[in-house]
Amino acid sequence: MRLIVLQSEAMIADVVCGREAVYVGSRDGCRIQLPDSRIASQQAVIVPESENGWSLEQLDTACPISVNGTTVVDRTQLKAGDEIQLLDYAIRVYPDYDESAAPRVALGTSRAQLERFAQAKLPFGALLKRAEEALAVAPGQLDGISRAALASAGCLTVEELMDRALAHLLAVFAAQRAWIGVRRINYGPMEYEEGRLITGQATDLPELGNELKPRVLDRAQFVLVPVASREDQTSALAGPLLGPDGKLGMVYVDSGDSGRRYDARDLDHFIIHLNVVAYHLDAIFKTLARNRAALIDGQVSVAHEIQARLTPRKLPQWEGQLVFGAFREPGRERTGNIYDVVRLSNNLAGFMIAHTSATGAVPSMLMTQAQTAFRSAVMHQDNPAVCLRMLNWMLYDGQKDHPLECLAGVIDPDSGVMRYSVAGHLGAYIIGQRGEPRQLGGEEPVPALGLVKSTVYPLLPEQLEPGETLVLFTPGVVTAKSRRDEVFGEERFVNILCDGFGQLASAMLKELLTDLRNFTEGGQQPDDITVILAHRV
C-alpha cells in the first residue's frame, strides 16, 4: 500500500508500506511525521490485517481524525481511494503499483522501478521517445494540431476535455480504439478513465496498454509499437500527459484489426497532440482549484458575518466581584468559533466557548445552534452538563463531519464556585495569584459534540479564588505562525498569561493581543483565535 501525504493540497511525503505498522504523529520516529503541536506524538497507527488488508486505529482522541469525511471512532478498514483527514493534512491511500499482478515491492525505489521496467518488454521494432527530443511535423499535420488546440480551449471540465480528445484521436490517427486516464498527482490510480471504440462503444485499456504503463507513467516515455506480435497485428501509440508540474495521466490509441501501421511520423504527431491536451488539462485543474478557493473564501466571509452578529457586543460585568473580557482574531482561511457570556436571573455568570473544525457552510449552522442551546439552557438554569447533552442531541445526525468542541460553565461571583462541562479539547486554565497555571478538564477526554449520540458530559467543580483569572481559548492559538513558520503555541500563550497575573481582564487581553499580532505579522493565522478571561477581584 502507498500513502501520499498532503498539506493544504501540496504533497509533502510519499510512504510505501511493507507489512509493518505505520505510525502517524508529530514525533521524529513516526513514518508519517506531521509537525503540528496539536497532533499527538503518536496520533494514529495504520496496521496490516491480512495479506492485502489494512486498518486505521486512532491512538489519541484529542485531535479528531476522519476517513472520507467520517470521524474515526473505532478501528477503520482502509481501501484504495480512501482519504484520511487530520487538521490541514490529508493522507490518500493507493495500492502499490499493480499489486494484483506484480510482486509486492516498494514503489518509488530504484529497484522496484527497474523490476517493473524489466517486466515491460517491448515488441520487436518498438520505438521510444522522450519529451525533450526533437520532433518532426509534416505540413498537413499542422491543421489538425491547431483544430485540436481550438477544441480543447473551449473545454471547462475534465470530462468534456476527455470526450473531445478521444473523438479527435480516433479521427486523426484512424484508430479503432482510444483510451485516456487522468490523475492530479504523479502516483496512484487514475481519477478519470474513459475509453472508446470507433463504433462509439466504451472500452477498457487493453493488455498491451497495461504492459506499456511502466514506461509511460514511470519513465515518461512515448512509445510506438508498429506490430504487437506475429499473431496480433495491432499497431499502437502510448504516452504520458505531461503538464508543467508533472505527469497528469496516460493516453493510448491502437489500430485494431484495420491493418494500419503507425510509424515515427505518427509518434511525433501523437506527442504534440498529447502536449496540447496535457496543458489544457493542467489549466482546467488550476481553474477548478481557484474556483474552490474562491468558494471557500466566500463561505468564510459569510461565516464571519454570522459570527459577528452572534458575538455579544458588550459583556456583562459584576463590579467588584467578577470582570470578564474577550477578543477574537478572525481566521484568514477558516472560521468556526463562538463565545457568549450572560447574567443569569440568580446573578450567576454563565459562559460558553465553542470551536468546530468543519468547513464550508456548516460552521455558520453550528455557531448558531451552539449559542441558541446555551442561552436556552441558562434561561431555564440548567447546569452546563445538561446544556452540552442537549446540544449534542441537536447536532447528532449520524454524520461525523461536524464535530463541535465546547466548554460551558457558571460562576458564582460571590463565592467563586464554578461548575463546568467540556466536550472535546479546548484550552482552559486558571492563572493563580502568583502566576502559576492549573489546567482544567476531566481525567478522561470526552468526545466532541455531534459524534456519539449517548455521550454523557460530566459536571466538573472548580474554585476561582480572589486574584485568580479563568482563561478559555480555542485551538487557533496553536496554528498561528510567524513569518519564520514558527507556531505561536499553547505553551507560549499560557506563559504570556502567567506573566500578566493579577491584572484585570482588559489589561491582560491588551498585552496578549499585542504579542499575538506582533508574532503573526507577515506569517499565517488560518483559524479563528478566541479568548475569554474572567478575573475574580
Question: Residue 102 domain-assigned?
Answer: no
Predicted confidence band at 65 (pLDDT cuts at 50, 70, 90)?
Answer: very high
Q: Among 94, 129, 147, where does a domain finish? A: 94
- The shares of helix, strand and coil residues in the chain, as percent rounded to the nearest 5, are 30, 30, 40
Q: C-alpha angle 396/397/402, rounded to 5°?
A: 70
Which of 250, 200, 255 lies closest to 227 in space, CA to CA?
Answer: 255
Predicted confidence band at 107 (pLDDT cuts at 50, 70, 90)?
Answer: very low
CA dist 457 and 459 (Å) reads: 7
pLDDT over 60 (residue 97): no
Predicted confidence band at 295 (pLDDT cuts at 50, 70, 90)?
Answer: low
Which range has the worst mean pLDDT, 204-218, 293-307, 506-520? 293-307
Residue with the larger pLDDT of the pair 430 and 110: 430
Residues 236 and 334 in one domain: no
pLDDT at 514 (0 to 100): 85
Per-residue pLDDT, averaged over 398-416, amounts to 94
pLDDT over 90 (residue 424): yes
pLDDT at 114 (0 to 100): 42
pLDDT over 70 (residue 100): no
Three-state SS for 355-422 is EECCCCCHHHHHHHHHHHHHHHHHHCCCCHHHHHHHHHHHHCCCCCCCCEEEEEEEECCCCCEEEEEE
pLDDT over 80 (residue 110): no
What's the grid cell of residue 454?
Answer: 449517548
pLDDT digit string, tens, across residues 219-246: 889 999 999 888 888 999 999 999 887 8
pLDDT over 80 (residue 197): yes
Residues 115 and 73 in one domain: no
Q: What is the CATH number of the domain that holds 67?
A: 2.60.200.20
Residues 170 and 226 in one domain: yes
Share of the chain above pLDDT 70, in %: 92
Residues 63 and 114 in one domain: no
pLDDT at 402 (0 to 100): 92
Question: Residue 172 domain-assigned?
Answer: yes
pLDDT over 50 (residue 99): no
User: By the 8 A CB rule, do 323 and 535 touch?
Assistant: yes
Q: Among 238, 270, 286, where does a domain finish? A: 286
Predicted confidence band at 98 (pLDDT cuts at 50, 70, 90)?
Answer: very low
Quote the radius of gyration of the chain (alpha carbons, Å): 30
CA dist 110 and 83 (Å) reads: 27
Residues 88 and 124 in one domain: no
Residues 254 and 383 in one domain: no
pLDDT at 169 (0 to 100): 93
Residue with the larger pLDDT of the pair 278 and 304: 278
Q: C-alpha angle 175/178/179, rounded to 5°?
A: 165
Tell me whether strands 22-25 and 32-33 are parallel, antiparallel or unpaired.
parallel
Q: Look at the chain and report how many structural domains it folds into.
A: 3
Which range has the worst mean pLDDT, 33-37, 180-184, 252-256, 386-390? 33-37
Residues 267 and 131 in one domain: yes
pLDDT over 60 (residue 120): no
Question: Residue 140 domain-assigned?
Answer: yes
Predicted confidence band at 52 (pLDDT cuts at 50, 70, 90)?
Answer: low
Provide the mean pLDDT of the chain: 86
Predicted confidence band at 29 (pLDDT cuts at 50, 70, 90)?
Answer: confident
Residues 378 and 468 in one domain: yes
What's the grid cell of residue 417?
Answer: 464556585
Question: Residue 329 domain-assigned?
Answer: yes
CA dist 433 and 48 (Å) reads: 52
Residue with the larger pLDDT of the pair 325 and 12: 325
Question: Residue 295 domain-assigned?
Answer: no
Residues 78 and 210 in one domain: no
Q: What is the CATH number of the domain that holds 194?
A: 3.30.450.40
Residues 227 and 125 in one domain: yes
pLDDT over 60 (residue 338): yes
pLDDT at 102 (0 to 100): 36
CA dist 102 and 249 (Å) reads: 20
The residues, any chain, with a CB within 8 Å of residue 19's CB and separated by 6 or more, are 48
Which of 243, 234, 188, 183 lies closest to 209 in space, CA to CA?
Answer: 234
Question: Residue 300 domain-assigned?
Answer: no
pLDDT at 108 (0 to 100): 39
Taking each helix axis as running N to C, give the angle between helix 158-172 and helix 139-153, from 0 to 180 degrees, rounded to the nearest 10.
160
Question: Residue 302 domain-assigned?
Answer: no
Domain that holds residue 10: 2-94
pLDDT at 81 (0 to 100): 77
Residues 242 and 323 in one domain: no
pLDDT at 162 (0 to 100): 93
Q: What is the CATH number of the domain that holds 481?
A: 3.60.40.10
CA dist 372 and 140 (Å) reads: 71
Residues 479 and 375 in one domain: yes
Question: Residue 293 domain-assigned?
Answer: no
pLDDT over 60 (residue 448): yes
pLDDT at 47 (0 to 100): 86
CA dist 430 and 425 (Å) reads: 16
Compute the residue count for the chain: 537
